[in-house]
Structure 1
Amino acid sequence: MAMVGLFWIAEGDVYVGAKPSGLAPGVRLSPEGVVALGDGQSGLHLWEDVRSLTVTDVPVKTVMRRVGAVTGMAWTTVLNLVDPGSGGADDAPGLMTLNVKTATGDHELAAYVAAAVGYSQAETDLSRALLTRLAEGAATMTTTLAAMSEWGRTWEGGSPREAEREALLREWLG
């Protein structure tokens, strides 16, 4: 499993945002189409019907967001020291929205953010360009999604470093 830009790649599966678990919302990009997962959203939007894919509500990594994450961890540690049963902060990760425009209308699909402190601006921009590319047509989608899936099947280890992630996104953009 690895995060590359706004995508979570687990073996051959490609997700926008974090891979969902249980009833959590999520979005999987399959060879057939865009699959809505989780409680409150379901369905398959076939690639032949997809006109565009755009993502909103993406948290971009900033110095203040990093400081906030460190401060939050410190605050949780203090709470746990003062009251070990408190469990500290239990904030759920943020949600992103994947807007899927199809021949039959617009669909908003929710997916949890996978990056704790947000995504770099470069990875966000490259990921958005990649989503646009996936919606360009069957041949483009097939080769791009196949390359992402193949990388996921052969990759061993956690998420690559930021420069490697950006290079992969550029490679998949062709």
Structure 2
Amino acid sequence: MAMVGLFWIAEGDVYVGAKPSGLAPGVRLTPEGVVALGDRQSGVHLWEDVSALTMTDVPVKSLVRQAGVIKNLAVTMVVNLAIPMVPDRADEAPPLMTLHVTSPGAEHELSVYAAAAVGYSPTEIELSRALLARLTEGAATMTTTLTAMSEWGRTSEGETPRGAERERLLRSWAA
């Protein structure tokens, strides 16, 4: 499993945001359409009906956000050492992002969890949004793009690549 921009690629499966587990909300991109997963959202939005995909509420990577994550980890560790019976704060949910799926006469808001603990770089956000827009340019473009993303997921080592490589992948998929 690897994170590339706003996408989580697990073997051949492509998700927007983190891959959901259990009843957690999520979105999977398949050759058939945009699949809403989790509690309180379900269904398939077929590609022929999808005219736009836009992402909002994306946490932007910043020094303040990174410091906040480190501070929370430190506080949790100190509290757990001092009072072992206190519930672990590491179970707090990551930020929620919203994928807007536009189709004729309707817009659907689907929730997904952010996969990046400290947020996403502005460049990765911009490239990911361009890639989402590219997926709605027609069946051939969507198929070619999703196939390239899935193939990379099947052949990669399963680890999230470094920033420059993530940006290179996003550029190639959005081209």
- Structure 2 length-normalised TM: 0.97
Provide the residue aligned with 1:108 in structure 2: 109
Is 1:156 matched with 2:154?
no
CA distance in 1, matches of 2:18, 2:102: 21
CA distance in 2, matches of 1:165, 1:87: 35
* Paired residues for 1:9-48 under 5 Å: 9-48=9-48
Q: Give the number of aligned pairs.
A: 174
Residues 70-127 of structure 1 show CA distances to partners (whole Å, capped at 9, x for unaligned) of 1111110111011112133232111110000012410000011100000011000000
Q: Which structure 2 residue ranges, 5 or more long, are not aligned?
A: none
Provide the residue aligned with 2:99 in structure 1: 98
- Is the CA contact (8 Å cut-off) linking 2:9 and 2:153 kept in structure 1? yes
Which amino acid is the alignment partner of residue 27 of structure 1?
V
CA distance in 2, matches of 1:41, 1:162: 32
Which amino acid is the alignment partner of residue 94 of structure 2?
P
Cα RMSD between the aligned structures? Answer: 0.8
Which amino acid is the alignment partner of residue 166 of structure 1?
E
Which amino acid is the alignment partner of residue 42 of structure 1?
S
CA distance in 1, matches of 2:168, 2:76: 35
Provide the residue aligned with 1:124 in structure 2: 125
Percent of residue pairs identical: 70
Q: Which structure 1 residue ranges, 5 or more long, are not aligned?
A: none
- Is the CA contact (8 Å cut-off) linking 2:8 and 2:17 kept in structure 1? yes
Which amino acid is the alignment partner of residue 69 of structure 1?
V
Alignment partner of 1:107: what SS? strand
Alignment partner of 1:96: what SS? strand
Which amino acid is the alignment partner of residue 68 of structure 1?
G
* Paired residues for 1:131-170 under 5 Å: 131-170=132-171
- Structure 1 length-normalised TM: 0.98
Would you identify which runs of 4 or more consecutive aligned residues in structure 1 move more than 2 Å?
none
